[in-house]
Chain A
Amino acid sequence: MLTGRFLAAAIFLLASASGPGIAGMAPDEPVAAPRSSSDSGAFKVSIGQRKVLLSTMSLDGVPYVSVKAMAAALGGTIKQGRHPGDLTLGLSGHRLLFSSDDPALVSLDSGAASISPAAKTLSGELYVPSEFITRVLSPLLEQEPPSSGGTRDARKLDVKIVGGEGSLRLVFDRPRAAAYEMKDANGELLLRIDDPATQPPYRSRSIGSPLLKSISFDSSPAGLTVRIGKGDDLGRATVFDLKDPNRIVVELEGGKNVPVGGAAVSDPPRTSGGASLPGPIRPSSTAFSGTAATARRGLRTVVLDPGHGGEQKGAEGSAGLLEKDVTLDTAQRLQKMLQKAGIAVTLTRTSDSDLSLVDRTTVANREKADVFVSIHVNAAPRRDARGAETYYLAYQSVDQEAADLAAAENASAGGAAAGLGAGSAGLVLWDLAQAEHLRESSELAQIVQKELNEALGVRDRGVKQAPFRVLMGATMPAVLVEVGFISNTSEESVLKSEEYRDKIASALARALLAFKAAYDRRQGAAPR
């Protein structure tokens, strides 16, 4: 993707564009439309009285401007997501949301605009064509920014979009409970909220996710209708509500084969409060009742991930033992033990096959696992390294800010949702999904490590944190266990034996059951 020449050109241009724009020196019109990628030019932005000169770089003959440089020149703020293409630009009270999911679209305060040609990322920076500035940004900046922040209208519906791999939740915070109904109508889901006082947060917004194309709102004297544009990959949509605060949650799940369920759903009796239900509407969706049960059901499903597989052999011992074989066999032993204890267990792979890291996490999310455990065997250059260790996810410091933000958002949303910024259509990136489960992941890691120490009597290497790819995006407590060192000849020889693998599996089973006990207790004591 990044070729040497390409990068070299980018560096040259970045160096020349690194200063802030210079006001008052602007030539009249866009100065340059250079043809080769090694040319750069300048581009003038006029906003009211202000004129700012921005450096451009030419990509495929089109002048592009760095969003970061633009923000610096115009005094804006940047909130960078994990991918360079996921970025929120704040400018004079306006908010622009760029998403790597669809580089040809940007969400604005109250709608969306196209970016043509599409935005590009280069060496970790987002670039938009300079045409975008004249056509979209300048007119936007001359408008009044939307009222926001502290004086938010209590009647206004607040919308958050919460991501997970293979599923997406729309969380509508509403001022008061009222009856609602969702219908499936030709490429759209129509969610009617029967409260005339509820106001839309914005008119429409393009989202461009595979599950969710867009959201728009229609107000009428009877109430508010949310039009949810179905994405191409949308399988099932379900709706349910929560109390304190009042929320309606629409869950969108991937998988085209599953029909969209829930033709009509309303506030169920348990949450209807003072709102009276209109006559004919009945909760008809089985998915709905399933979701209602989810809140209290306790720990039921575990997904185990036998590390590596197929061409990815993983680590190899000096006697020829392969990590991928130990992990699969141990996971299968653990599966049987957990199933005996009444826990549903799915393995990410059941044979010696290749599976990408993302696909492993996806299995856990798709199965709606309550816990995800990835099983590995370690190796180190030093031959006498030995012992077991348990990891939970660390976001790299570069991502930590975003992770903290997601976690804080989640805390304030009472565990139901995480979003980026109240009132904004912030998309939480899949990678940040694990952020809201880190506390429980850490708890699980402690329990697992304790059981391994007691059962194996090997050196305690402790609980650690690292940016394991397979744990990112897991929407449940998730840990990665390194059960021992295959690079250590004595550990390799015990790892060969069925007896030792059983020991490991039963230690993990005990840990998961102990975690389940605490988990179920918490859910019983503080149901959502």
Chain B
Amino acid sequence: MSRAFPDARAFLVAATAMTLPALLFPGSALATSSTSLPPPGSPPPAVGQPERREIFVLFPSGEDDLLHGQKRTIFWTSTVEDRAKQALAELISGPTEGLLPIIPADARVREFYLLPDGTGFVDFSRELLKVPGGSATEHLISGAIVDTLAVNFPQVRKLGILVEGEEIETLNGHLDTRLPVRPDPSILEPALAEMLKAGAGAGTEETEGTAAPAQEPSPQGR
């Protein structure tokens, strides 16, 4: 949907970029979607067109049991939270071609939070639980969610998966998701696994450009 209606997406991005800080800092000046936060107290500048960058969104393939990267462009908005939500929206919207969809297409990301210690929480709508059965499927779903964020945003060191604001025991009866899940390089194509390992040493501090991959994996279905 977002690819078909770029304007709608720009609107969504601007809207989330404005509502998230409002939620986090009630009463504070609204942050905007420009690339740096304004100094406290300064009037909110006009919403400009933020920079765009490429990220890798992960999908299973028809050839092997691994997740592969497909390049997508997102708005490089000011907060990791907002970028993560865009990345997850791309993950839900599915691959263009060559790879296989993995998240139920009608699932929505309700919210994404990142704690200072690098623990992210993604809160999905209940449709996430409509995943088809099979532990292999379940493994790919949690891997696609966690690793898509970890590969692109090294600030996210582990990820709690919530549904409608609640912790879940498992996605569909197999793997424990009660506590935040660590990224799993073992289900990634080798180049992405390398990226993940390299990014893991990057620390929690936000560094501009960490998402720019040093090594190009071989994205499929472009």
Residues of A in contact with B (beta carbons under 8 Å apart):
1-5, 7-8, 11-12, 14-15, 18, 38, 82, 123-124, 307-308, 312-316, 323, 357, 376-385, 391, 396-399, 466-470, 472, 480, 482, 485-487
Pairs A-B, 5 closest by C-beta atoms = A379-B134, A315-B133, A380-B136, A315-B134, A314-B133
Stretch at the interface among B38-46, B48-56, B161-169, B214-222: B161-169
Is B166 touching A2 in the complex (CB atoms < 8 A)? yes
Contact A486 to B62, CB < 8 A, known contacts A2-B166, A308-B173, A469-B176: no
State which residues 7-40 of B face A: CB under 8 Å.
23-26
A22 → chain B closest CB, angstroms: 18
B121 → chain A closest CB, angstroms: 6
Residues of B in contact with A (beta carbons under 8 Å apart):
23-26, 60-65, 100-102, 110-111, 113-116, 119, 121, 123, 132-137, 139-140, 158, 160, 162, 165-167, 169-170, 173-176, 179-182
A383 to B64, CA, bound (A): 11
**A–B Cβ pairs within 8 angstroms, 21 of them:** A2-B121, A2-B162, A4-B110, A4-B123, A11-B24, A11-B114, A124-B179, A312-B173, A313-B133, A316-B132, A377-B134, A378-B135, A379-B134, A381-B101, A381-B102, A398-B180, A398-B182, A469-B170, A469-B173, A469-B174, A482-B135
**Option from A1, A123, A315, A470 in Cβ contact (under 8 Å) with B115:** A123
* A315, A381, A384, A486 pick with most chain B CB within 10 angstroms: A381
* B114, B140, B176 pick with most chain A CB within 10 angstroms: B176
Is A379 touching B136 in the complex (CB atoms < 8 A)? yes
Q: In chain A, what residue has the closest Cβ to B59?
A: A381
Residues of B within 8 A of A123 (CB): 115, 119, 121
A249 → chain B closest CB, angstroms: 30
Residues of B within 8 A of A385 (CB): 65, 136
Residues of A within 8 A of B170 (CB): 357, 469
**Option from A3, A38, A468 in Cβ contact (under 8 Å) with B174:** A468
A68 → chain B closest CB, angstroms: 9
Is B166 touching A382 in the complex (CB atoms < 8 A)? no
Q: In chain A, what residue has the closest Cβ to B136?
A: A380
A472 to B173, CA, bound (A): 13
Residues of B within 8 A of A468 (CB): 135, 174-176
A516 → chain B closest CB, angstroms: 26
Is A307 touching B173 in the complex (CB atoms < 8 A)? yes
A267 → chain B closest CB, angstroms: 42
* A14, A380, A383, A385 pick with most chain B CB within 10 angstroms: A380
A502 to B165, CA, bound (A): 44
Q: In chain A, what residue has the closest Cβ to B162?
A: A2
